[in-house]
C-alpha cells in the first residue's frame, strides 16, 4: 500500500491533515490509540463558571505544558517540513496543539484546535506568550515543581493533588480571566481558523492524512471539502479511521517511518 500511496501522490500538490498520532514518537500520547491515557477534558462552560475547576486546570496544565514543551519533533514532522521546502505540499492543517510542525521547519501550519504556546485574556483579548504566564505561575506558586514522572496527556494537561493550593494567574494588563489558546470541549473552532485550514485542503490535488482517527468533527468537515472536489485521500495511521472506506489508499503504520519513506520517494535529489 505504501508504493500505491507514493504513486498516487507523485506529481500532485498535497494538502496535509495531521492528528495526535504524528506526535506519539515525540513522547506525546495519542487520544484514542492503544494505551492512550484516560482523560477528563476541560469543558469550556465549567472553566468559565467554576473557580475550583480553573484552579485544577491551570495547576495540571502548567506542569503538563512544561513537559509538553520539552519534547522534540520526530522524523514524521521533519519529513513534512522537507516536503514543504521542496514545494510539494500546500500546507498543514493540524488538529494538534503542540508546535512540533513549526519547530521541525514547516511554515504554513494552521492549528485547527489552537495552540498551547499562547494564552489570551477573555476580557480584554490580549495575547501573551505562554513562557511569560508560566514564569508568573511559578512566582505565585513557588512550591510547584516538575515531578520526576508526569503522565502527559495529548492536550498538555496532567492531574496533580495540590491543585487546591494553586493560585491562578490573571491578565497582566486588565486582571481578567486567562485561558490557553486551545479549543476546549464545548467551544467551536473560530471561523477564520477553519477557513484557513479549508483553504489548505482546497488547494491540494490530493490530501494526505497522517496520524488521525478522523473521529473529531473538524477533521471530517475538512475532508468533506476534498471529497466534494473528488480529490483523492491517502490515510496513514496506526489503527482504523472513520474515513478508511472513503480513502483512495490507506497505509497501516507509524507516521515517522511512513512519511519519511513518502518524502524520500517524492523529493528529487538535489
Please identify which of the residues 82, 113, 117, 131 carries the catalytic annotation: 113
Q: What is the DSSP letter of 72?
A: -
Active site residue 113: yes
For cell 521547519, what's the residue? 105
First to last CA, the chain: 27
**Alpha carbons 99 and 182: distance in angstroms, whole number:** 12
Spatial neighbors of 111 by CB under 8 A, at least 6 apart, are 94, 96, 97, 193
Q: What is the DSSP letter of 167?
A: P
- Contact between 114 and 182 under an 8 Å Cβ cutoff? The reply is yes
What is the C-alpha radius of gyration for the chain, rounded to an integer number of angstroms? 19
Torsion of CA 180, 185, 186, 189, to 10 degrees: 60
- Residue numbers annotated as active site: 113
Amino acid at each position: 500500500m505504501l508504493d500505491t500511496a507514493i504513486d498516487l501522490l507523485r506529481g500532485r500538490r498535497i494538502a496535509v491533515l495531521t492528528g495526535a498520532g504524528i506526535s506519539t514518537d515525540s513522547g506525546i500520547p495519542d487520544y484514542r490509540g492503544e494505551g492512550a491515557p484516560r482523560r477528563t477534558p476541560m469543558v469550556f462552560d465549567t472553566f468559565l463558571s467554576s473557580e475550583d475547576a480553573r484552579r485544577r486546570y491551570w495547576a495540571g496544565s502548567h506542569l503538563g505544558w512544561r513537559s509538553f514543551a520539552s519534547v522534540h519533533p520526530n522524523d514524521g514532522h521533519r519529513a513534512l517540513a522537507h516536503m514543504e521546502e521542496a514545494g510539494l505540499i500546500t500546507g498543514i492543517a493540524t488538529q494538534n496543539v503542540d508546535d512540533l510542525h513549526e519547530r521541525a521547519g514547516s511554515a504554513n501550519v494552521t492549528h485547527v484546535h489552537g495552540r498551547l504556546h499562547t494564552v489570551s485574556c477573555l476580557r480584554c483579548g490580549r495575547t501573551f506568550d505562554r513562557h511569560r504566564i508560566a514564569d508568573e505561575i511559578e512566582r505565585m506558586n513557588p512550591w510547584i515543581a516538575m515531578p520526576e514522572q508526569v503522565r502527559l496527556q495529548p492536550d498538555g494537561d496532567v492531574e496533580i493533588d495540590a491543585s487546591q493550593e494553586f493560585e491562578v494567574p490573571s491578565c497582566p494588563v486588565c486582571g481578567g480571566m486567562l485561558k490557553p489558546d486551545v479549543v476546549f470541549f464545548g467551544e467551536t473552532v473560530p471561523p477564520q481558523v477553519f477557513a484557513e485550514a479549508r483553504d489548505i485542503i482546497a488547494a491540494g490535488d490530493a490530501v494526505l492524512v497522517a496520524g488521525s482517527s478522523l473521529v473529531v468533527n473538524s477533521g471530517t468537515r475538512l475532508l468533506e471539502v476534498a471529497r466534494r472536489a473528488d480529490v483523492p485521500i491517502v490515510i496513514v495511521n496506526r489503527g482504523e479511521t472513520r474515513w478508511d472506506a472513503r480513502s483512495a489508499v490507506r497505509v497501516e503504520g507509524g507516521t515517522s517511518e511512513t512519511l519519511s519513506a513518502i518524502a524520500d520517494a517524492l523529493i528529487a535529489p538535489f
